[in-house]
A and B are shown apart, each in its own frame.
Chain A
Amino acid sequence: MTITVIEPKPVSFVAPVVAAAGAFAGLFVGTAQGSALLGVIGGAIIGAALTFLFLTIFRQERAARWITTLGMAAAGFAFGGAMGGVIGLAFGWFFGWFIFWLGEGRYRAKLPPYTTSLQVFYHFLFRVICGMIFFFLITPIVVVMPLSFNAENFFTFTPEMLRLDPDGYSLKHYRDFFTNDDWQQAMWNSISIAPIATLLSVSFGTLAAIGLSSEHVPFRRPIMAILISPMIVPLIISAAGMYFFYSRLGLQGTFWGVVLAHAALGIPFVIITVTATLVGFDRSLTRAAANMGADPVTTFFRVQMPLILPGVISGGLFAFITSFDEVVVVLFVGSAGQKTLPWQMFTGLREQISPTILAVATILVAISICLLTTVELLRRRSERLRGMSPG
């Protein structure tokens, strides 16, 4: 439904832009090979030449893009081996697309027809900046993954890895994680503490959230403030207080001490997610159930629970990840017998023992991707259910 007219742009506009981009890419290739100046000039010339070639003589988009991609990949491979090939492939694909995207004027397709050239430039500059911020957000997490397959005990890429040499990669850190007693003990501790803490916070939290969402709760705000406070109070303060207080009760250094502490930390997340779900809950449904003779318990389990279940589960996942990730409180409240996975990672990072930490990190990222997907699906389901309920 766009009314913007897409028309081919003159080579005199496209060629300098592509040449500039080529120069920028050439700068990196050039510095890596020893001569920055040569790289800049070479990149600009190649960019301009390709543009001229494709837009005037050989205007066959599909074929032209294949040619650039494969050609640059081959050139890269000739220059810098496997890694060079990959980089060349990426560059080739990008430049093939870029030349035609500019040359056919497709870049204006989603912009209003009245935008000036300067506005177009700002628009894409802004996008590039955003792209860099996203890059900043995601790179640290992505970098960890290949490094965890390192064959050496380094925290950085080895030359073998950069050459994409299979010898540079191995599963030894994963093997270490699954065979080392310390790590296995830590994993089992995490796996046994988190579910119990989650169960406690979900069962108490859901009941309280239902109570809080009823219309006539006295002292709603102060109660809410107290229940949310474990999320707001800095962990080090919670940890200090719990350490002092639990030592008085003899809970310090015990399994149940850690479980109780983690349950307290998980409660705000359950309260927040479940109350958010209950906002859209239609109260006439429970009244209708009561009207038809259901007692409150039946009403809860057969009518209310199925509808708020998505919220309860995502609250539970938040509580689970809180306990599973938590390190400050367990450092103080727990003893060596309750060493959890994050605790073991923390010690490892301070003493820098081995890249096994990176293998664990990769496994944890995989787990968080699963959790994220689950929460996202639940949220959508919850919104759908809410949309269906009348009112």
Chain B
Amino acid sequence: MPQKEFINGDKMSDTTDTGPVLAADGRPLKRSLNRALRRQKLRALGLIAPLLIFVLVTFIAPIADMLFRSVENQIVSNTLPGTVQQLETWDATSGEAPGEAVYEALYYDLFLASEAKEHTRLGTRLNYEETGISSLFRSSGRKVDDVGEDYIDALEDLNEAWEDEAFWYSLMSGGEDAAKNSGLLDEERERLSGLTGDDYSADIGFVPGQDISQLLPNTARAYSSFALFTVIEDEDVVAEEEPWEAVKIALVQDIKRGADMSGYEGFGAEELRAAQDMLQGQPDIAFKEAFLDIDEDWGATDNWRTMQVYSPPFTAGYFLNAIDMQNGLDGPEARPENQQIYIMLFKRTLFMSLVIMGSCILLAYPVSYLLSNLPMRSANLLMILVLLPFWTSLLVRTSAWKVMLQQQGVINDTLVWLGLVDDASRLVMINNQFGTIVAMTHILLPFMILPMYSVMSTIPPSYVRAARSLGATNWTSFWRVYFPQSVPGIGAGSILVFILAIGYYITPEIVGGTTGTFISNRIAYHISSSLNWGLAAALGSILLAAVLILYWAYDKIVGIDNVKLG
């Protein structure tokens, strides 16, 4: 409004040519008004800001988090970083299991993961995509300690120092004054906190020596993870614990790869040279064979392909799963017939919501018509019958329907008492689609009646009378004159009921049985029972998208500002 005024003012000043109009304090009026307007805007925003921030933090951020979870997939690359890296070059279509290098990387990754007890989580995650992986990981986690036992025994037989925790500590730290390699330690800190989600930034009283980590890179890395884990998870002292088998295996591998000992003069040089002499003649450790011994499924290309497909930090896998598809050899493909369930559930949710919406329209239309045509006093009285269910707890209404519909319930009892139904063949009205539809129609009916009523009470009765006096029949005057005017009410009520219906959880859960449940029941199941959160998030995101489209339509047709309550 003020904008218009000052534009007019501007024009006036142009025509009369007396320079800009000034406010009382001598400034140009235009600038004064602009400033006042800006201040008003800021004040309004200042009033809104606290609530906006509150809603953003407590509501919008959780929704965003859920959307993020539906594509997030860092668990594979966090748990098996080395394996994932090695697996990149493997060709899944070759039909052969990956090479020795992948299995060696898997050994170190799995060893650490099973110490941290994270391998079962990864197994569960991958099991959503390929059945059987979960048990593979669980059983292998226990047996991975035994890989390369003979080498460790040989090493320890050669010199007892390899069993001594203090020796190991001195070897790996390279002594008090040696140059340190804290970069390696930081890398391992990051890796472990990615793996377990804990904080690994504390000081652990150990930093690998520069020389030794150049000489024995794998050993230094493995020992650093061991040291971090020992101090932070087990709360022990590094120098007092014997290193894991994986550290010793890493040492064996480093030595066999031909670490050049000739220039090394630091702590333990003698023992290292002796170990090198001993190991020189031995065959290589066969990681692949060892894993196949643990479980022959480690040779199955399907499992490796699943790990490869799901190794990137983000995946569309959950969404594909949510529409009954999966990542196949060449792109997305349909799941096997017996695993398809979600499309069916989405269809059922849609179908039942439509039926509920339809029956709400059928029941609400006559009632709203009656209410809008009765005198104010009687209409208000009858309105109580609509508002009382609206205000009554959802649980109360759902339990009422359970009482009414069950086989030993009120309706069946009445029918049996009247002799309409035989006592032996009582009607099954609950734990199926019928029960859900009846109960939800009742629960959502007020949401249909209220918008319809508010539209219908604005239709002047004189239009229908005019149509009648011009010779229209009852039906014509209703269908051609009254009904078109009531359509906005039907639209508003329908969208509202539909939006509410497709997201319902409680009522289908209680009266729906197995055939009357909605997609939301499946989402709840995945959150609390199967713990497949990613899939729950993906299903939720699809449902959310559907609701938001309807919300947008509702905003266009009715306007959010026009929502009325009671």
Contact = CB atoms under 8 A, between A and B. Distances in A.
B393 A325 contact: yes
Contact of A368 (B388, B536, B543, B561): B388
A184 to B, nearest CB: 18
A372 interface: yes
A278 to B, nearest CB: 11
Given A147-B403, A233-B544, A216 B51 contact: no
Contacts of B403: 140, 143-144, 147, 155-156, 358
Given A31-B420, A36-B419, A143-B410, A361 B400 contact: yes
A245 B442 contact: no
A31 B419 contact: yes
Contact of B388 (A147, A332, A372): A372
A261 B60 CA distance: 11
Contact of B391 (A34, A221, A321): A321
Contacts of B565: 269, 272-273, 318
B102 to A, nearest CB: 33
B563 interface: yes
Given A155-B406, A269-B565, A371-B391, A126 B370 contact: yes
B533 interface: yes
Nearest to B544: A237
A345 B528 contact: no
B40 interface: yes
Contacts of A119: 474
B65 interface: yes
A365 B395 CA distance: 11
A238 B528 CA distance: 15
Given A137-B385, A358-B399, A241 B420 contact: no
A243 interface: yes
B544 A244 contact: no
A75 interface: no
A283 to B, nearest CB: 12
A368 B62 contact: no
A292 interface: no
Interface in B382-419: 382, 384-389, 391-404, 406, 408-410, 413, 417-419
Contacts of B399: 144, 345, 349, 357-358, 361
Contacts of A166: none
A379 interface: yes
A212 to B, nearest CB: 6
Given A208-B48, A208-B50, A272-B563, A237 B395 contact: no
Contacts of B547: 232-234, 237
Interface string A262-304: 0110010100110110000000000000000000000000000
B393 A140 contact: no
A291 to B, nearest CB: 16
B377 interface: no
B128 interface: no
B537 interface: yes
A143 B404 contact: yes
A229 B410 CA distance: 39
Interface string B205-236: 00000000000000000000000000000000
B269 interface: no
Contacts of B528: 332
Given A134-B385, A264-B55, A207 B50 contact: yes
B391 A372 contact: yes
A151 to B, nearest CB: 16
A120 interface: no
B45 interface: yes
Contact of A140 (B391, B401, B418): B401
Given A223-B52, A264-B59, A325 B395 contact: yes
A62 B384 CA distance: 31
Interface string A106-131: 00000000000001001000110110
A235 interface: yes
A133 interface: yes
A37 interface: no
Contacts of A369: 388, 391
Interface in A25-75: 28, 31-32, 34, 36
A239 B59 CA distance: 10
Contact of B48 (A28, A134, A223): A223
B97 to A, nearest CB: 36
A71 to B, nearest CB: 24
B47 A211 contact: yes
A205 B50 CA distance: 9
A217 B554 CA distance: 22
Contacts of B336: none
A86 interface: no
A255 interface: no
A328 B543 CA distance: 16
Interface string B179-191: 0000000000000
Interface centre among B47, B401, B510 (most CB of A within 10 A): B47
Contact of B396 (A275, A318, A365): A365
A267 B554 CA distance: 19
B502 interface: yes
A228 B560 contact: yes
Interface stretch (B136-144, B251-259, B284-292, B519-527): B519-527
A79 interface: no
A217 B392 contact: no
B410 A237 contact: no
A342 interface: yes
A187 to B, nearest CB: 13
Contacts of A129: 366
Interface string B281-314: 0000000000000000000000000000000000
A227 B51 CA distance: 8
Contacts of B60: 226, 229
Nearest to A324: B393
B395 A141 contact: no
B505 A345 contact: no
B317 interface: no
Interface string A221-260: 1011111111011111111111111101000000000001
A186 to B, nearest CB: 12
A70 to B, nearest CB: 26
Nearest to B438: A136
A218 interface: yes
A350 B402 CA distance: 10
Given A137-B386, A216-B37, A217-B45, A237 B52 contact: no
A144 B398 CA distance: 11
A17 B58 CA distance: 63
A137 B54 contact: no
Interface string B36-50: 010011011111101
A194 interface: no
A82 to B, nearest CB: 16
B400 A375 contact: no
Contact of A238 (B62, B446, B537, B560): B62
Contact of A349 (B402, B446, B499, B523): B402
A140 B400 contact: yes
Contact of B41 (A147, A200, A217, A371): A217
13 contacts: A31-B418, A140-B400, A204-B51, A216-B44, A217-B41, A224-B560, A224-B561, A234-B503, A236-B524, A237-B540, A237-B543, A241-B63, A368-B393
Given A130-B370, A208-B47, A232-B554, 6 more contacts: A140-B389, A140-B397, A140-B442, A210-B47, A243-B527, A263-B58
The 8 A-B pairs at the shortest CB distance, nearest first, are namely A234-B503, A211-B47, A241-B62, A140-B400, A245-B62, A208-B51, A241-B66, A236-B520
